[in-house]
Amino acid sequence: MLLIRCPVCAMDRPELEFRHAGQAHVARPADPGAVDDAAWAAYLYLRDNPKGVVAERWRHVHGCGRFFNALRHTVSDRILATYPAGASRPEVAP
């Protein structure tokens, strides 16, 4: 069981209260009409799958209901940091 710190509730909560919501910091093209199909498909479907630290969106669905971002190591499954949605990715040692 992962304990995840919700940055809104400011408490450590069990993983069961959260939903994973995909890769964080995926920027939507500012003018979707101007990008070609390949770029749009890349925005919609292509995601990183690294071995190491990933930035992910999580939602505290059974608590405050808010989305936030988390840095998780895909090998150890350890949550290294959580931070509010919209904030830039913090620097952490993996």
Partner 1 sequence: MSATEPHPWLAGALVPGRFGAAAGEPVRLGTRACELVQVLARRDGDAALQAAIRAAGGPDLPPPGHAAQGERMAALWTQPRGWLIQAGPDAGLARRLADACGPAAAVVEQTHGRCVFTLEGAHARAVLARLCRVDLHPRAFGPGRVAVTPLSEIAAVIHQTGAAPGFDIIVASSYARAVAGMLAAAAAPIGYQVGGDQMGGDQMGGDQMGGDRVD
Give residues in contact with partner 1 (CB under 8 A).
8-14, 16-17, 62-66
Interatomic CA distance for residues 59 and 52, integer angstroms: 21
CB of 58 to partner 1, least distance (A): 16
CB of 69 to partner 1, least distance (A): 16
**Structure tokens that stand for 57 in this block:** 């969106």
Strands (E), 15-63: 19-23, 53-59
Q: Which of residues 17 and 73 has its CB atom nearest to partner 1 in the complex?
A: 17
Q: Which of residues 8 and 80 has its CB atom nearest to partner 1 in the complex?
A: 8
